[in-house]
Amino acid sequence: MTDKLWGGRFTASAPEWVQAFGASIQVDQAMAKEDLEGSIAHVKMLGKQGIIAPDEAQQIEAGLQALMTDLEAGKLHFDVKNEDVHLNMEKLLTDKIGPVAGKLHTARSRNDQVATDFHLWLMHRLPLIFDRLKGLQTTLLDLAEKYLGVIMPGYTHLQHAQPIAYSHYLMAYFEMFQRDYERFEFSKKHIDILPLGASALAGTTFSIDREMVAKELGFSAVYANSLDAVSDRDFALEFLSNASILMMHLSRMAEELILWGSYEFNYLELSDAYTTGSSIMPQKKNADYAELIRGKTGRVYGELMGMLAVMKSLPLAYNKDMQEDKEGVFATMDTVLAALPIFDHMLVTLEIHPDKMSASLEKDYSNATELADYLAEKGLPFRQAHAVVGHLVLKAIEAQKGLGELSLADFQAANPMIEEDVYQVLDPMTAVNRRQSQGGTGLSQVKAAIAKARQELAAE
Ligand code: ARG
């Protein structure tokens, strides 16, 4: 027998450095609170069901509560020799209340215990994500309202495409973050299930009450199948996947902040607080935080890929491989919970340059579609209108002029249907405002989108 809690059938132990390789306490101590909560609910149930004597259950519960107090005071010390948070806690409980602590593990296994801790850990942190996402969405709405009327080039292929309202651009991100919010909401359904009671894999001979434990811990359902309960990590994969998509959104916008803050664009300037200088070039102002958010997005994707790879081909039910499931989830949670408010403050303190945005619309031909639409409205088939305008664009490029700088004679030579009102049509602000189709960039559409978004946000 070795000195391990499970040491009964063992006659030899690995050297300490090998044991450290097998241990997870370095990582899973982050779930210490959840582990105690799970144990408290479990022992209450054992007592109520008469599986252990009620006074013993009370003794154990008191011991666990005392450990909780110690934990909150930073007084719990874990030992890598005790492998993981579960065995460390049992050891600490035994030190506190003696051998009766050994009754806590009745009708339970570390397999359903670790899954329960992990579910609880995520459940406790989802509200923080909701909160921070909402904060960012509110900022986007505030900015969209503040800058209503600012226009800029809309891009496809990073080439000027058509003029758009800057607020319309901001609202596009609002929509993305709204879907992120909804995805995390959907994911609640699969997090909010109790594995405890599955025991090692097959259920237990004791007359446990899983519903009671679920209620104690705030879960709205229990796993239907004990094998699934201990081997399911879909909920963690869903979290990583949702986090990856959210980070992708942050990263895309971060990229635009970086690009648009460059000398060539100069559409905006990040606050000094969210930029850093160079150790050699005195003039530098670098968008480090935006770059880091973009960079950390890659790491988050990596955690998703890593966990998918860990889970691939694992036979049912529990396998020690699954101990590798937590590190990436914990790191991803830290990244997401930091990236959201950082991004939010970066936007709050952002300075935008509306004059530069509109100036870049002057000779960029992003009003070419307006002229084609103008001719199509007058009855010319759109394909023909496209060709006429293409020709005019070429002419303007050769003359180094914007489309609006061509003379009426130039226009009429290309097509006699073009009249004096063409200059109004070619104005970028007109171009934006005429896009009144549902979901378009026309200011009345953008205003309506903002109002609807405000309502939705308030209703959440
Ligand atoms: N530390 C383990 C983990 O995180 C706990 C479950 C261990 N179960 C077992 N049968 N060895 O996965």
Q: Which residues are catalytic?
A: 157, 278
Domain 368-459 = CATH 3.90.1300.10: no
Distance 229 CA to ligand 1 centre (A): 14
Q: Does the beta carbon of 24 lie inside 6 Å of ligand 1?
A: yes
What's the CATH code, domain 7-106? 1.10.275.10
Q: Which atom of ligand 1 is nearest to the CA of 200?
A: 10
230-279 pLDDT, tens digit per residue, is: 999 999 999 999 999 999 999 999 999 999 999 999 999 999 999 999 89
Q: Is the CB of 111 under 6 A from ligand 1?
A: yes
Per residue in 285-341, pLDDT (tens digit) is 999 999 999 999 999 999 999 999 999 999 999 999 999 999 999 999 999 999 999
How many angstroms is it from 29 CA to the middle of ligand 1?
13
Q: Which amino acid residue places its CA nearest to atom 11 of ligand 1?
A: 320
Give this complex's ipTM: 0.97
Does the model's pTM come out above 0.90? yes
Q: What is the 3-state secondary structure (H, E, C) of the chain?
A: CCCCCCHHHCCCCCCHHHHHHHCCHHHHHHHHHHHHHHHHHHHHHHHHCCCCCHHHHHHHHHHHHHHHHHHHCCCCCCCHHHCCHHHHHHHHHHHHHHHHHHHCCCCCCHHHHHHHHHHHHHHHHHHHHHHHHHHHHHHHHHHHHHCCCCEEEEEECCEEEEEEEHHHHHHHHHHHHHHHHHHHHHHHHHHCEECCCCCCCCCCCCCCCHHHHHHHHCCCEECCCHHHHHHCCHHHHHHHHHHHHHHHHHHHHHHHHHHHCCCCCCCEECCHHHCECCCCCCCCCECHHHHHHHHHHHHHHHHHHHHHHHHCCCCCCCCHHHHHHHHHHHHHHHHHHHHHHHHHHHHHCCEECHHHHHHCCCCCCCCHHHHHHHHHHCCCCHHHHHHHHHHHHHHHHHCCCCHHHCCHHHHHHHCCCCCCCHHHHHCHHHHHHCCCCCCCCCHHHHHHHHHHHHHHHHHC
Low-confidence stretches of the chain (pLDDT < 70) are: 1
Report whether residue 323 contacts ligand 1, using a CB cutoff of 6 Å: yes
To test ligand 1's pocket by mutation, which of 84, 314, 316 has the most ligand atoms within 8 angstroms of CB?
84
- Could you tell me the fold of the domain covering 111-206+222-359? Fumarase C; Chain A, domain 2 (1.20.200)
pLDDT digit string (tens) for 172-188? Answer: 999 999 999 999 999 99
Give domain limits for the chain: 7-106, 111-206+222-359, 368-459
Average pLDDT, the chain: 97
